Structure 1
């Protein structure tokens, strides 16, 4: 099963005021965090779509596969089209993961992959047009996992109404997940600050739990 990803990162980030992909996060950049999340879920290929930031993205992420969108001014869908044009015929499905959704967990991607795999076993028809969308507390989030039949549709679409409109014309499979990160976007400085605070709180909780576990082990007498 070959599952890839398209990461649109060519936007001007006008509301943020600086390139979202290159913002520092968790000891790296926002883009690096998303790349690492997909790599841990064995997603391949991971196609990062760049724009005017292409040179800097390449310098900061030399191990990433970068494709330059020739028309980033046409919006995110044009970046998704750039990625779709590069996907090979042997792809089974692919994620579309906007760069401003940095907190999705790798286990969520694995969960979506499993749902797709189970469906493919029951319905191996390559022409199926399905999107598997993570849902947290009743709300749909990102990233959707699209079956390969969407590649042709995305390539040929005029792109006037965006990906959401394309998906609404076909079956959407809602996949419940315990991951608030699928709903957390980062389009403004205030939203970015909250993302950083959320990560810091998670890291503090993890360190505390590790210390408690370590202390418990030290207090446990040898058998």
Structure 2
């Protein structure tokens, strides 16, 4: 019997490239339809798994409240500023016994629910690592089976799980979804990717 992966939404970054002063949270920017960026990023993940753990930083400006209202289990990473690995490890410790994890980014609002479901299906079939590929380009979210638990928990710095992905050939899920390669880092990105909505 297939067991559903736990979703992880990483939403603890400061988004300095979006606003170097830190005054404007990119995650709380409205998209063309009016939905907040982080809410859109969470929605597809929430629709594809039974549980989503969302990681925020302490001074999140309301990101956690937004995600909690959607149904995410929100957890605060006290050392989020040390890099993405800290947020990922913090999330994994909230569900260490999960059969697998589907890890999405809070600044990628255009990933389709159908993509999330395809990645989930690959994990449930036993893929140790699964990545989406659109038009030859690898993207996010990324899924990991429990076989990689210890390696994931040992991560440090701002590279996330890149080293694990380099060391192990992932299962590739080809998708017709430009959202998997469309993150929002700058104001220009927000304007450019609005065509994906």
TM-score by length of 2: 0.87
Matched, 1:85 2:93: yes
Task: Give the length in aligned residue pairs.
Answer: 188
Q: 2:35 aligns with which of 16, 25, 28?
A: 28
Name 1:73's counterpart in structure 2. Answer: 81
More helix by share: 1
Q: Which runs of 4+ in 1 moved over 6 A?
A: none
Structure 1 residues not aligned, in runs of 5+: 121-127, 200-223
CA distance in 1, matches of 2:44, 2:35: 13
CA contact (8 A) 2:27 2:106 kept: yes
Deviations 1:10-66 (A, max 9, x none): 11110101322211123221121122211222x132111111344612333433311
CA distance in 2, matches of 1:71, 1:116: 29
Larger Rg, first or second structure (1 or 2): 1
Q: CA RMSD in A?
A: 1.9
Q: 1:8 aligns with which of 2, 6, 10?
A: 10
Structure 2 residues not aligned, in runs of 5+: none
CA distance in 2, matches of 1:61, 1:97: 14
CA distance in 2, matches of 1:81, 1:61: 19
Name 1:57's counterpart in structure 2. Answer: 63
3-state DSSP of counterpart to 2:18: coil
Q: 1:102 aligns with which of 99, 109, 115?
A: 109
Deviations 1:137-188 (A, max 9, x none): 1110100111122232221233464311122112311111111111111100
CA distance in 1, matches of 2:63, 2:45: 17
Name 2:183's counterpart in structure 1. Answer: 185
